[in-house]
Structure 1
Amino acid sequence: MPKTLENYCQEVGRAGHDGLLSTCLMFLSVPDIPILERFCCGDTCSKRSLHLWLQEVVLKIPDRDGTLSFNNYQQSKE
């Protein structure tokens, strides 16, 4: 699992390089949790920023195909 949202976006972006539709899946396992907890203590966004981002994701109305579209550049600035 990527350690940051930016890394995740880069991984997802690789799936679309050929211009074809793709499906991105992220799997999290129990051994990943301690590693991710250590990342939380590093250079990450504030708890408030994370809550605001999660709220935006939860309240987002899906596109017709069921996907969620976001402007990651704008999100990172905000």
Structure 2
Amino acid sequence: MSEDIATLDEQIIRLVGRRAAAARQQTRARVSSGSSRTSLAEENVVIDRYSEELGRPGVNLALLVLGLSDRLPAR
């Protein structure tokens, strides 16, 4: 594996972790304000964004990113 790809993979992993932390923070704020834990409207915006940029595979990637954001442990 080339160094460029390895570096990009490290950055992607780090960014997914940052996104998970931001999603946890947003979920806490939503719940503390009396709203539901998840906003389907916001999730649909994410899915649409990935789809517009990457086509059908973008939908799959968005669903993975959203799922990881819910399941990754805090670091």
TM-score after normalising by structure 1: 0.32
Q: Which has the higher contact order (CA 8 A, sep 6+)?
A: 2
TM-score w.r.t. the length of structure 2 is 0.32
